[in-house]
Amino acid sequence: MSGLANALRRHPELMVAAVLVIAVLAIGTINPVFWQPSNLFSLLRASVITGILALAVLLVMLSGGIDVSFPAFAIAAMYLTVKAMIAWQFDGVLLPFLMASSIGLALGLVNAVFVHYLRMIPLIVTLGTGTAVRGFILGVVGTSQINIDQMPPLLIAFARGEFFSVTQADGSQAGLSSMVLVYAGLAIAVHLILRHTMLGRGIYALGGGEEAARRVGFNTRRITFVIYGLAGALAGFAGLLHGAMIWTANPRDMVGLELDVIAAVVLGGASIFGGRGTVIGTMLGVLTLVVITNSLIILGVDTTWQRVVVGAIVIAATAVTAWRDRKRIA
């Protein structure tokens, strides 16, 4: 029994990999439509935004913090960028993404200031900044939704790109969104940072013990700013990508998304107490969550049950990680 707990401590992604395999087999057996390339591709596409946001949450959670402000930051970055593009009649891809990421970065650094200098609890800080940013966007920038007729065409075209397609049994074409590659690229980058740089090890060290990290010689202030800054930048990037993928910039979007993302990260084996978690586990967690919630439809379950499933996943995944980490808490 403790052998299992140890295995989970060492390879947090084991549990989620097992859950994913079981879920896929079960769903595919009940309704073989699941195996159609168009369904599989759409599931991968659906995991892009949640996935990038999950990378941001993973960074914060590894350091022992938690972030609930990222949906607000993502929406703020997206809405401000699209508004600016329309106002300046600018169309493009690279610059807008740079702008959205920078907005996210700046907001993330605000979180870091509160967390590091005022020693505030990350949950409270990010609840506050997230709410304030949302309020600011709706109150000052605007409340109206920007639809496809006004969205910058190049941005839309970028998000519609496909890099791979197959002909299905019924003769229709199914394509895989290029955005999956963008997500994979970001995931690899975050993985390399966490696994192969001193900065990344510093994030784990911080989650293991802040005082100990300082005594060993880590610059904990710099690490905290990098974590929250990077998380903000990822959120800003994901926000604009989200708008481009659904062809809409809605300032009231992504409400309640923080729970789905945190659920995915915890499901992926990250510890809410910090110091434990991997990129691969997080990606598997995201995929599992997306597969389960999106497959309710093809299983004939009413979509209102989605929230019940998300809630149940949060509780189940946290229970397993708490059991795994119980020695540490005691």
Partner 1 sequence: MTAPLIELRHLGKSFGAVHALKDVSLTIGRGEIHCLAGENGSGKSTLIKVISGVNQPDRGEILIDGEKIENMSPRQAIARGVQVIYQDFSLFPNLSVAENLALSTELQAGKKLVSWRRVRQIAEEATRKLGVALELDALVETLPTAGKQLVAIARALMSDPRLLIMDEPTTALTGREVEALFRVVRDIQSRGIAVLFVSHKMREMLEISERITVIRSGEVVASGDIGDFDEARITRAMTGQELASEGYRWEGDPTAPALLDVQGLTVPGQLDDITFALKPGEIVGVSGLLGSGRTELALALFGMKRGYAGEIRLSGRPLRLDGVQAAIAEGIAYVPEDRLTEGLFLAATIDRNMLATSHDRLSRFGVMQNGQAARESEEMIREMAIATPTGNRPVTQLSGGNAQRVVIGRWLMNDPKLLILNGPTVGVDVGSKAGIHRKIRELARARGLGVLMISDDLPELVDNCNRILVLHRGRLVAELEAEATSEADLSTRLGALQ
Residue 3 touching partner 1 (CB under 8 A): no
Residue 222 touching partner 1 (CB under 8 A): no
Residue 212 touching partner 1 (CB under 8 A): yes
List of residues 6+ apart from 233 with CB closer than 8 A: 101, 102, 104, 105, 108
Please report how close the Cβ of residue 35 comes to partner 1 at its closest, in angstroms: 39
Residue 119 touching partner 1 (CB under 8 A): no
Distance from C-alpha of 45 to C-alpha of 178, rounded to nearest angstrom: 9
Q: Considering the complex, state which of residue 4 and residue 166 has its C-beta at the smaller distance from partner 1.
A: 4
Residue 196 touching partner 1 (CB under 8 A): yes
Distance from C-alpha of 121 to C-alpha of 117, rounded to nearest angstrom: 11
Residue 1 touching partner 1 (CB under 8 A): no
Distance from C-alpha of 169 to C-alpha of 21, rounded to nearest angstrom: 24
Site pattern 270..299 for partner 1 (x: CB under 8 A)? -x--xxx-----------------------
Distance from C-alpha of 100 to C-alpha of 243, rounded to nearest angstrom: 11
Question: At 162, phi and psi to the nearest 5?
Answer: -125, 145
Please report how close the Cβ of residue 317 comes to partner 1 at its closest, in angstroms: 18
Contact by Cβ (8 Å): 107, 166: no
Residue 195 touching partner 1 (CB under 8 A): yes
Residue count at the site for partner 1 (CB under 8 A)? Answer: 28
Q: For residue 32, what is the DSSP state? A: G
Site pattern 9..38 for partner 1 (x: CB under 8 A)? xx----------------------------
In angstroms, how far is CA 253 from the centroid of its own chain?
15
User: Could you list the residues that contact partner 1 (CB under 8 A)?
Assistant: 6, 9-10, 195-201, 204-205, 207-209, 211-213, 215-218, 271, 274-276, 327-328
